[in-house]
Amino acid sequence: MVNFIIKNIAQRIVLLIFISIISHAIVHLAPGEPSLVDPSNPRMKAEDIQKIRAAFHLDEPIHIQYVFWLKDLFTGELKSFKDNQPVLGKIWDRFLNSLPLFILGTLITWFLAFPVGIQAALNRGSTFDKTGTFLSYAMISIPGFFLSYIVIIFMVKTFDVPVIGMRTFGLEDSSLLFQSMDRIWHLTIPALMSAIVGTAVLSRYVRSQMLEVINQDYIRTARAVGFSNDTVIYRHALRNALLPFITMFGLTIPGLIGGSVIFETIFAWPGMGRLGYEAILSRDFPVILTLNFISAILVLIGTFVSDILYAIVDPRIKF
């Protein structure tokens, strides 16, 4: 077990180094430079650009820049090109904002997808199953921002609730209850929107997984022994059907950054996805690179956790 873990971690660290090299190369070799974002700005003189380039090591060869980036990242000295703030601090602030959105989104996904998927599998071919299947395809196929706009207009017109941003401006002096209610309203719709695709995909997986397990011999045996239907389904079938979802749980972690760009932009949510989007717009290389790096770390942690969990839960897997 210990051997397995050590080997696994070592492999992942090697992967991580390659990822950082590739992403560094992609960002730096692509045309477009921070100094070119605003070429018409009269205050940017040639010598200013020179000064900026020197300060951020942009004149060094690319492998030296890579070393500088890694060194600055690990000493916490890495500064954003845009406002000269420490990158890690900036990302940490945005991470704290993204976290509630991500947690609520994941909760909605898992609490909706499992009952729907199980019901669909148990009543295969029923109206519920067919509608569910069709709806989940429709949810996968609709452009997320299109649906979000419709929902925003609908919610604001019917319920008169605020949906844009993290909080209503000017409520800082109101009572705690009022403030938290406000925060919850602001949180619900973005979380729901970002959960929709996940719910659709996951409920399809649950359905097919459940169908596979229900047709196994041990389920027939359990029925033959005379267990009640509920016992068979929830104790015997569900537990076996759940196994692959441990893997999926690990894989949802990277959704923290990549999956949220669109929704955080629509809902003006100051999270990590939007930080990335803003950084891309202003060619803020340190922020882009560090976000890429962090999300790669998140992917690797996610797959690592799911590998370990899988090995713990499923006794058939040996090291």
Find, among 308, 259, 293, the residue nearest to 15 by Cα.
293
Least separation in angstroms between residue 23's CB and another protein is: 7
3-state SS assignment for residue 33: coil
Of 122, 181, 238, 262, the one binding another protein (CB under 8 A) is 262
Rounded-to-integer distance, Cα 133 and Cα 116, Å: 10
Does residue 261 bind another protein (CB under 8 A)?
Answer: yes
Find, among 189, 100, 106, 108, the residue nearest to 149 by Cα.
189
Question: Near another protein by CB under 8 A, which window of 51-59, 81-89, 177-185, 294-302?
Answer: 294-302
Does residue 141 bind another protein (CB under 8 A)?
Answer: yes
Least separation in angstroms between residue 253's CB and another protein is: 11
Rounded-to-integer distance, Cα 180 and Cα 77, Å: 36
List, in sequence order, every residue forming a beta bridge with 79; answer none if it has no partner: 86
Question: Near another protein by CB under 8 A, which window of 43-51, 86-94, 108-116, 143-151?
Answer: 143-151
Q: How many residues in total does the chain contain?
A: 319
Does residue 283 bind another protein (CB under 8 A)?
Answer: yes
Interface of this chain with another protein, residues 168 to 227, rule: CB under 8 A: 211-212, 215
Question: Would you state the structure tokens that stand for residue 249, as one six-digit string?
Answer: 């749980």
Would you say 137 or 178 has its CB closer to another protein? Answer: 137
Token look-up 């077990």 returns 1
Rounded-to-integer distance, Cα 246 and Cα 13, Å: 22
Interface ranges with another protein (CB under 8 A): 15, 18-19, 22-23, 26-27, 30-32, 134, 137-138, 140-146, 149, 153, 211-212, 215, 254, 257-259, 261-262, 265, 273, 276-277, 280-281, 283, 288, 291-292, 295-296, 299-300
